Every structure is written in structure tokens, then in C-alpha cells.
Amino acid sequence: MARDTAAAPAPRPAGKVRNVALVGHSGAGKTTLAEALLAATGAVGRAGRVEDGTTCLDTEDVEVRQQRSVSLGVATVEHAGHRITLLDTPGSPDFVGELRAGLRAADSALFVVSAVNGMDAATVQLWEECAAVGMPRAVVVTQVDRPRADVDEAVRLAQLMLGEGVYPLHLVQRGPDGSARGLLSLLDPPGDAGAGQEADRLRAELIEGIIGESEDETLMERYLAGDELVVADLVADLETAVARGHFHPVLCVSPLAGVGVPELLDLLVSAFPCPMEHGCPPVTRPDGTPAPVLACDPDGPLVAEVVKTTTDPYVGRVSLVRVFSGTLRPDVAVHVSGHGLADRGHPDHDADERVGVLSAPLGATLRPVSHCPAGDICAVARLTTAETGDTLSSPEDPRLVPPWDLPVPQLPVAIEAASHADEDRMATALSRLVAEDPTVRLERRPDTGQLLLWCVGDGHAEVVLDRLRGRHGVGVVTVPVRVPLVETLCGPARVTGRHVKQSGGHGQYAVVVVEGEPGPPGSGIVFEQRIVGGTVPSQYHAGVEKGIRMQAERGVHGDRPIVDVRVTLVDGKAHSVDSSDAAFQAAGALALRELVAAVGTRVLEPWCQVEVRVPGEYVGPVMSDLSARRARVTGTEADPGRDVTTVRAEVPEVELLGYPGVLRSVTHGTGSYDRRPLRYEPAPAALAVPA
């Protein structure tokens, strides 16, 4: 990450600011479009590219290697007296956490659709999420010059899949060779459109859509009467409708040729809402009590949110911050409030820190700014405790912004340090990694001893490991994830555990007679005693129980613990001199081993309760796949209002190790699921081999 010595343009009033998230699936052309916008405004050179193939929005080498964006890219441009901050969100479902961070920082969303590949179901799902919170949206059809591009089909799909209010604003004008040469505005009078009846039809639909959102009730009457409407009036109503989130224009852009780029920039500054129009998220006090409603006021109380965290070997920790209220200035004290995700290694915290240098981000380049007012986005250096999702506010009046929805990581990756030297650095690197990425969960499993990184999917896991090895310089290797197997007795038995040793001086003497049998699932180790006549003095009963429990935890066959066993102490012998608590612990452990030898054990595997949420059209494939995983489907529940069905099932944990990627493939990126531990059940023969 480089720091540019040239200062960025001075911050602008919130009314002259536009924060726009670029949204779309991988390969739709979001980053190329952003580069074209930057080039058109003079922020960077042609398409923002340098010789090694990186782009102005690249923030990590891994993005170049994978040829796709895997993290939130940010750049700021100036156009027509306005500041436009572009938030280039990842297209892969594995990085939906960064995508939603970009949406939290933005006031509007630009959905990028490829004229070659069309639109996927995951994009439609995200469109519906934005609609639910009233976020203004528009559609950009890109790659119109590519072979096999079909602009008309892309527009038709957008109207069909995204619902009401989606209207094209232009027609693509092509040259003799078929390349895009320019755009024809559908708001121009019919005689100027130059495309015949199709243009007249689209123009009529567009005007009727705009009039339907207009506050001028006379427009419809004038239009039906055949009066020619003033284009300026239509444009004004279009801008109002877009800002309200009810009207969604479609533009066609050829980024490499520059076609449609000026029109898009004009639309962003004229029709997309400023931060004051979009409003601020609700806030509370750190203790959960209500706080006054925020307004986008540079003179109001300071409330800002960390939407992205990175660690640079030269600059240190850099936090990308959206300021909702007040003004953030360098070298002032702020209160950092963490809402916490304790189960993912993000505990609650409240601390005061001093803000470092403020910068306007342009991809990996930071340009110093004097301050960051409400509605703007900046990078803050050296906030040592702040993590992604934390709130910055005044120490005298701390506030807390509720977190955005984050996916629950469901893919475990077992890692080990590649060397002893790496072991020393790994703990620090992992803590930084978790601070940067709240979708990562770190866990040391007590039952297997493995260190697990829980990730959203295979692509996410690949990037996380790349960051550990590259950015943090830690050698790590992955090993197979071990599913914890346990054992229980096959039947009842009565055995004797005899621990007698004599080696000079005081000896060791303990004899116990126990009865053992399998217990109900989930009962654990249950110890009872039915001693008559004091054959085993009461002071040694606890020692017998401790020995049995310790042996059960260690297991008898390898490292498989013994579970769900009822053991009853019924008889035994003690010596007045040589008996001790340690001797009876040893006798209790031996008694459990004798029980295993007498009746044998059966291996149990863990099962999970899962809830899979998918669109209705994918319920069949999902249930078929679950059946192939030895799952037992326990029910389904449909939500017709959202066309989402929840499938509930019980599934062996071992069958879920690679499930996130399979579910994504089966549902075209639209499925999600949660799981929780359920119980242990007998394992199949293939798993029940000796440990």
C-alpha cells in the first residue's frame, strides 16, 4: 500500500457526495467499469492499468493471480463538482461479507450485468436484499462489444428477473463493423431516436414509468392528450424516482471504448442520492440503551464505522471508515466500540484511541486529507484495536452502530505451522487476520486438538491462506480435518480392576469391582456406587470415579473417548497401609479398560442439525444431494413471499466437510445453511476402523 504525497481534493459537502457500490457476479465487468470511470475523470491513466496487469482498485496480489476481485476496492473521483466514491464489491459468494460491508458504506448500488453471460440468481437475491432496505439501484449492461454479446437479451432478463421499475434509458448505436459507437437517448423526441418502432415502444414505456413516479399529476394527462413533454421535466422526475428507490434505469456501457461512460457519470451525480437523502443507520449506546437518531450533519456527534481493515508491512493497520455523522479529524481521540462476535474470536471491547493520518483511498494508494466530514469515506492509519464492523465515536458521547449481516463460516480448514519459527509468528498473524476479516472464525478443537480456520467457502479459504503466507509471512500447511469419533460399550458386564504393586516401603493396593453398561445418548459418563460394608472406604470413591473419567477421556483405542456409559462401583478391597487415592484412580482406569475388553465397543460419529435455505426451484436438487450424504430430512417450510424454502435435516458431520461448495454449485450461489451439533450415532464400518 503506497502513500501519495500529493493531497487529495478537499472534502466536499454531503450534498456533493455520492457513495456508490458496484455489485454483480464475478466476470460481469465491475472492476473494468470502475477503471473506465476513473480514467474518464482523469483520476488515473487509461483504464487504470499498469504493466504488471494490476489495476487501480487492486489491494492485494492474490487478486491479480486469481484474475478476480476478492476484496472491497475503493476509489474516489471528481465529476461535475461532485465527489464519487466507487466501492467495487467482490462478485464471488465466498466474499459476501466484504460485499455487504460495501453496501453499508454506500448510499446506492449499481448492478453490473454482462451482455455475454446475463444475470445469475445470486445477483437477483442481492437485488431483493437492497430492495428490502430501500437502497436506490440502477443497472449497467457491460461487455456490449464482446463476441456473443446480446444487449437486448440482457436488458430483457434484467426486466424479467429484477421486477418492476426497470427501464432502459438508451439504445446502443453501432458502427458498420458492429462495434458500439454511441448511445441514443430514449428521452429524445421520437423523430431523433433513429431506431423506428422499437425505439418508440421503449420510449413510451420509459416515459410512462417516469410519469408513474412523478409528483406532477398533470404530466399523465398531458401525455395522454398527445402533448410533447419537456425532456428537462422528465429528467428531473427520473432523478427523483431513482433517489427514492422506485425507478431503476438501465444503461449500456462499453468501458474499453468509453461508450456510455459520460452518461453514467452524469446519472450518478444527478440521479443517485447524496448521503443526506439516504439517511443514517440506527445507533445505540454501547450498553444497548437507545441513542438519538442521527442526521448526516458534519457538525453533529461523531459516529463512523470501520467497513474494512487491512494490515500493511510499511503503513501498519489501515481502517476504511464511513463517517455517518460529525467530522473525523487526525490526531484526535475517539472511542472504539466493538459489538463483538465472541464465537468468531471478536470479543466485545471499548477503548479510546487517537486517530492517525486520514487519507482518501484510490485502490492501494492513499492520498492525505485534512478531515473527513459526514457522508464521506476515508482511510485511517494505526487504529490498533479497531476491527471491521467497529464504531468510532466521541469519548464523551460513545455510540454503537449495529453490525451488518455476516455469513456464518461453515467450511473448516485445519492448519499447522510449517516450522518451529512459523509457530512463533502464527498466533500474531492469526489475530490480525481475524481482525481484518469478521467472516473468519478461529477455533482450537479440544476433542481433536486441531487448529481450525472456519471459512465461507473454498475460494475464501484459498485467499485466507494466501494472506497468511504472503502478507503475514507465516508458513502454514493444511491437513485433513478430523471429525471426532467416540466409542461406547456394546453391552453390560461386571469386571474387576486390580492395581496391586509392592516395591519396598509402602506399596499400592486397590481392587474395585464395577458393573458397566451403555447409557442413553448424550448422557456422558455416569458414576454410581453401591458399596455395602465399607469394602471400599468412602474416601476412595472419588478416586475411582476420577480414574474412570480420565480413562474415558483418553480412550482405549487410540484417541477415541469413551462416552455414554453408566459405571457402578459394587465391591472391592482396600489395604490399611498400601491403599491410596492414586491407587484407586489407577484401579478405576483399569476397570474401564476391562469393561471394553469384556464387551467391546461401537464407534459413534457426530451428527448435526442443519437448516438449508434455498429458492423453491432448487429444493429438489438440494434434497437429493442431502440424501446422498446419509441425511435424514425432517421437514421443509416454504416462505412464498420471498420464494425461499427452508429444508431441515439431520446430517453426519463428516458429510458436511465440503458441503458449502456443493451447495453453492447446486443452487447457483443462492443457497445458505446453518448447523448445530446434535448427537452421536453409530458410525458406518468405513469410519469405524481402528484409530
CATH number at residue 461: 3.30.70.870
pLDDT at 52: 32
**pLDDT at residue 2 in the model:** 57
CA distance 669 to 674: 15
CA-angle at 377, arms to 373 and 382, nearest 5°: 100
Mean pLDDT of 371-382: 92
Q: How many CB atoms within 10 Å of residue 168?
A: 23
| pLDDT, tens digit (0-9, with 9 covering 90-100), for 169-196 | 999 988 888 888 889 889 877 655 445 7
Say if 399 falls within a structural domain. Answer: no
Residue 676 CB-half CA count within 13 A: 2
Q: What angle do CA 5, 8, 10 make, to 5 degrees?
A: 140
* Contact present, 484 and 448 (Cβ < 8 Å): yes
Q: Report the candidate in 613, 662, 659 with the shortest Cα–Cα distance to residue 639.
A: 613
CATH of the domain at 502: 3.30.230.10
Do 127 and 266 belong together in one domain? Answer: yes
Alpha-helix runs per DSSP H in 356-474: 420-436, 458-469
Residue 66's pLDDT is what? 37
Contact 284, 402 (CB under 8 A): yes
Q: Is residue 76 part of a domain?
A: yes
Q: What is the pLDDT of residues 335-364, one digit of tens each?
A: 999 765 555 555 667 889 999 999 988 766
Find, among 395, 568, 577, 412, the residue nearest to 494 by Cα: 568
Domain of 670: which CATH number? 3.30.70.240
User: What's the mean pLDDT in 65-90?
Assistant: 79
Q: Point out the domain boundary residue: 479, 507, 531.
A: 479
Torsion, CA 408, CA 92, CA 455, CA 88, rounded to 10: -80
Alpha helix positions (H), 214-254 = 218-224, 231-244
| DSSP conformation class of 479 | E
User: Is the Cβ–Cβ distance between 512 and 547 less than 8 Å?
Assistant: no
Task: Report, as an integer, the average pLDDT of 94-115.
Answer: 92
Give whole-number Cα distances, 171 to 199, 228, 422, in Å.
Answer: 8, 21, 58
- Bridge pairing between strands 365-368 and 358-362: antiparallel
Grid cell in block for residue 90: 467482490
Number of domain units in the chain: 4
Backbone angles phi, psi at 347, to 5 degrees: -70, 160
226 within a domain of the structure (yes/no): yes
CA distance 659 to 673: 10
Least confident of 90-99, 418-427, 449-458: 90-99
- Give a three-class secondary structure readout of 20-49: EEEECCCCCCHHHHHHHHHHHCCCCCHHHE
Distance CA 29, CA 49 (A): 15
pLDDT surpasses 80 at 420: yes
Q: Environment class of residue 101 by beta-carbon count within 10 Å: exposed (0-12), middle (13-18) or buried (19+)?
A: buried
Give the whole-angstrom CA distance, residue 400 versus residue 287.
9
How many Å apart are CA 564 and CA 521, to the nearest integer? Answer: 6
User: What residue has cell string 425461499?
Assistant: 644
Considering the domain architecture, whether residues 223 and 253 belong to the same structural domain is answered as: yes
472 plus 492 within the same structural domain: no
Q: Is the pLDDT of residue 655 over 50?
A: yes
532-564: pLDDT as tens digits:
888 999 999 999 999 999 999 999 987 789 999
Cα separation, 366 vs 309, in Å, equals 14
Radius of gyration from C-alpha coordinates of the chain: 32
Average pLDDT over residues 83-89: 93
* Stretch among 99-113, 291-305, 424-438, 483-497 having the lowest mean pLDDT: 424-438
Mean residue pLDDT across the chain? 87
Asked if the structure places residue 408 within a domain, the reply is no
User: For residue 237, what pLDDT is reported?
Assistant: 85
Q: What is the chain's percent helix, strand, coil content, to nearest 5?
A: 30, 30, 35
Q: What is the pLDDT at residue 363?
A: 63
Contacts of 430 (CB under 8 A, 6+ apart): 442, 453, 468
Of 571, 599, 627, which closes a domain? 599
Beta partners for residue 647, in sequence order: 612, 636
Same-domain status, 85 and 219:
yes
Domain end among 479, 497, 522? 479
Is the predicted pLDDT of residue 68 greater than 70, yes or no? no
DSSP 231: H
Element (H, E) at 304: strand 303-312
- Is 86 in the same domain as 235? yes
Q: How far apart are CA 420 and CA 430, in angstroms?
A: 16
pLDDT at 6 over 60: no
My answer on whether 76 and 185 are in the same domain is yes
Mean pLDDT of 85-114: 91
pLDDT at 454: 94
Q: How far apart, in whole angstroms, are the C-alpha atoms of residue 191 and residue 79?
A: 31
* Judgement on whether residues 566 and 505 belong to the same structural domain of the protein: yes
Is residue 296 included in any domain, yes or no? no
- Region 414-424: mean pLDDT is 92
Q: What is the pLDDT of residue 87?
A: 94
In a domain, 338, yes or no: no
Cell triple for 513:
469391582
Which whole number is the average pLDDT over 402-424?
90
| pLDDT recorded at residue 295 | 93
* pLDDT at residue 129, as a whole number: 84
Number of H helices, E strands in the chain: 17, 33
Q: What local confidence, expressed as pLDDT, does residue 521 receive?
A: 87
DSSP state of 330: T
Instruction: Clarify whether residues 574 and 503 are in a common domain.
Output: yes
Q: Are residues 673 and 578 in the same domain?
A: no
Instruction: Note whether 21 and 111 are same-domain residues.
Output: yes
Helix/strand/coil for 174: strand
Pairing of the two strands 248-252 and 137-142 = parallel
The number of angstroms, rounded, from the C-alpha of 464 to the middle of its chain's C-alpha atoms is 13
Question: Please, are residues 483 and 681 in contact by the beta-carbon 8 Å criterion?
Answer: no
Tell me the CA distances in angstroms from 233 to 187, 202, 216, 219, 220, one per residue in order.
11, 18, 10, 9, 13
Considering only the C-alpha atoms of the chain, give the largest distance between any 2 of them, rounded to a whole number of Å.
117
Among 353, 367, 324, which Cα is nearest to 56's?
Answer: 367
Do both 161 and 24 map to the same domain? yes
Q: Is residue 495 part of a domain?
A: yes
Instruction: Examine the domain organization and report whether 214 and 149 are in the same domain.
Output: yes
Domain limits at 569?
Answer: 486-599
> What is the arithmetic mean of pLDDT over 138-146?
93
pLDDT at 676: 93
669, pLDDT greater than 90: no
395 is a domain residue: no
pLDDT category at 301 given cuts 50, 70, 90 is very high
DSSP three-state, residue 155: helix
Q: What is the CATH number of the domain that holds 193?
A: 3.40.50.300
Q: Are 350 and 400 in contact (CB under 8 A)?
A: no
pLDDT number for residue 392: 95
| Whether the Cβ atoms of residue 219 and residue 237 lie closer than 8 Å to each other | yes
Cα-Cα-Cα-Cα dihedral sign, residues 142, 143, 144, 148 = negative
Give the amino acid at 220.
Answer: M
